[in-house]
Amino acid sequence: MADTITSMDEDFSEWYIDLVLKAELADYSPVKGCMVIRPRGYALWEHMREALDAEFKRTGHKNAYFPLLIPEHFIAKEKEHVEGFSPELAVVTHAGAEKLEQPLVLRPTSETIIWSMYKKWIHSYRDLPILINQWANVIRWEKRTRLFLRTTEFLWQEGHTAHQTRTEAIEETLCMLGIYRDFAEKVLALPVLSGKKTEEEKFAGAVDTYAVETLLQDGKSLQAGTSHFLGQNFAKAFDVQFQNEHLELEYVWASSWGVSTRLIGAVIMTHSDNKGLVLPPRIAPEEAVIIPIYKQDSKGVVLRRVIELKSQLQKHFRIELDDSDTQKPGWKFAEWELRGTPVRIELGPRDVEQNCVTLVCRDNGEKLQVTYNELESRLSSLLAEIQNRLYNKALAFQKEHSHHPSTYKECTELLNGKIPGYIFAPWDGTRETEKAIKEETKATIRIVLDTETAHTQCLYSGNPAKHMAVFAKAY
């Protein structure tokens, strides 16, 4: 129940864990660092997956599946890649009763195994482009874990594309960044910033990494998706060449991109409150729940009507009927608020007589009475209104906590505040400055913007600025 949830003002981290566990989204696994995704949590992922998968297919991508086990020597073929992932690798050395001649890595990401296959499939320019996506699990041996946000095993999608030219691969990289941005904002109601990662923060093995970042209610940023321009790095590592129209051999150009179940954590931390989850209607397990209100003498007539209502509404909406008789309506109201169901439909004996129902919005508590005849249209418009309200509320929060300090002292004061938020600051482009700010403030450069920085100075070093950087503390 909501009264057992830690207040977010008291302890934001504990509040988050309470919501995940008490709303039955996930639970701790017997394997340290792993989680069990419960049906309600998995329903969120299914709705995210459906929306994204439709976009991938609309833009010409096809789904495939590659093995979980990767020969260890594959990982070692790309130097930057192996250096980036080596602390997180889980390696299988024995199978059955025998020691393996060649150890196998549980995939932290699939570039290496996929490019070993692309070498078999790509020979001519006629074989390109290859636009493949994979829905899968990955294993990264994390030392500090948190449900959904960072776990040893998690679910994700990873796209891997192969192209004839550098221009095509960069266009693909930026196209997928745009898809992630639109998905976050239109489906998850998460306002995001998008831009390029620094050399220090980019994906191991990429030429350039682009990301979408979202600001959570504790003022920290979360990387909500990444898209990588891989250049010819993996093609050269696996000797993937094609014969062009002039019968010349060239290395293939590539991109990769992905989002994961950490998006569920982003949604929780952005929209929810001290009563429980607040979920965008587009991904909620159920868009509305019907709760009958009756005394013993009106039970029959009320239950008949709610069963009729469910039958009518479930043709067009995801509907749940809570007709259990073990708890009172007030308890049910609180329970479904905890679960984050966008709309509650209340119906009692007087409503039956008047041919109407009461609709209650989870996000702001607004109540309105509608007739049976207008219920479907009003519920549809109400769900759209809730989706928009959640986005606009989160956007207002992001704007309120986006700062443009004029001095480094002001920058550090903001980052040390209760809700640090985003710091937009001119940066000289050096790793030395980036590392120094990280060490002093625990904030990292989340993205670099294309904003003009001529005639401005780096807030830290005083040297001429090369970029406008967005600093934030992050998960």
Name the domain count of the chain: 3
Q: What pTM was computed for the model?
A: 0.95
In this structure, the answer to whether residues 37 and 183 fall within a common structural domain is: yes
Please name which of 153, 163, 186 lies closest in space to residue 52, comparing C-alpha atoms.
186
- Local confidence band at 15 (pLDDT 50, 70, 90 cut-offs): very high
Closest CA to 203 of 71, 113, 85: 85
- Say what the pLDDT of residue 4 is: 84
Q: Does residue 472 or residue 79 have the better pLDDT?
A: 472
**Do residues 383 and 284 lie in contact, with contact meaning Cβ atoms separated by under 8 Å?**
no
The beta strand positions in 65-146, using DSSP E, are: 69-71, 90-95, 98-106, 130-139
283 located within any domain: no
pLDDT of 193: 98
Residue pair 293/282 in contact by the 8 Å Cβ criterion: no
pLDDT at 85 over 80: no
At position 251, the amino acid (one-letter code) is: Y
Give me the CATH number covering residue 231: 3.30.930.10
Q: Last residue of some domain: 271, 298, 324?
A: 271
Is 282 contained in some domain? no
CATH number, position 370: 3.40.50.800
251 plus 315 within the same structural domain = no
> Where is pLDDT greater, at 326 or 84?
326
| The pLDDT value given to residue 1 | 52
Report the C-alpha gap between 60 and 382 in whole angstroms: 34
The pLDDT of residue 421: 98
Which pairing describes strands 319-321 and 288-292: parallel, antiparallel, or unpaired? parallel
- DSSP 8-state code for residue 38: P
| One domain, residues 406 and 458 | yes
Q: Are residues 305 and 266 in the same domain?
A: no
What mean pLDDT comes out for the span 263-273? 98
Neighbouring C-beta atoms of residue 182, cutoff 10 Å: 13
Do both 267 and 305 map to the same domain? no
Same domain, 41 and 181: yes
| Within-domain flag for 392 | no
Q: Which domain holds residue 94?
A: 2-271
Q: pLDDT tens across 294-353, in order?
A: 999 999 999 999 999 999 999 999 999 999 999 999 999 999 999 999 999 999 999 999
Specify the residue for token string 């013993």.
296
What's 252's DSSP letter?
P
Given a cut of 70, whether residue 173 has pLDDT beyond it is yes
Averaged confidence pLDDT in the chain: 95
DSSP label at 77? T
Of the candidates 158, 143, 151, the one whose C-alpha atom is nearest the C-alpha of residue 36 is 151
Same domain, 232 and 177: yes
Residue 303 per-residue DSSP state: H
Residue 465: pLDDT over 90:
yes
**Domain end position, chosen among 236, 271, 306:** 271
For residue 49, tell me if it sits in a domain.
Answer: yes
Q: How many CB atoms lie within 10 A of CB 243?
A: 15
Q: Is residue 393 part of a domain?
A: no
Q: Which of 413, 432, 427, 435 is nearest to 462 (CA)?
A: 427
In terms of Cα–Cα distance, which of 117, 155, 109, 111 is closest to 136? 155
pLDDT at 114 over 80: yes
Cβ neighbours around 408 below 10 Å, total = 17
Establish if 388 belongs to a structural domain: no
Q: What is the CATH number of the domain that holds 451?
A: 3.30.110.30
- Nearby residues of 27 by Cβ (< 8 Å), 6 or more positions away: 21, 35, 36, 38
pLDDT tens per residue, range 394-420: 999 999 999 999 999 999 999 999 999
- 395-399, long-range: CB < 8 A, 24+ apart: 395/191, 397/215, 397/217, 398/191, 398/215, 398/422
Residue 248 counted as domain residue: yes
At 350-389, the pLDDT tens digits run 999 999 999 999 999 999 999 999 999 999 999 999 999 9
In the numeric block, the tokens 């830290």 are attached to: 460
Other beta carbons within 10 Å of 7: 12
Q: Which tens digits make up the pLDDT trace of 18-31?
A: 999 999 999 999 99
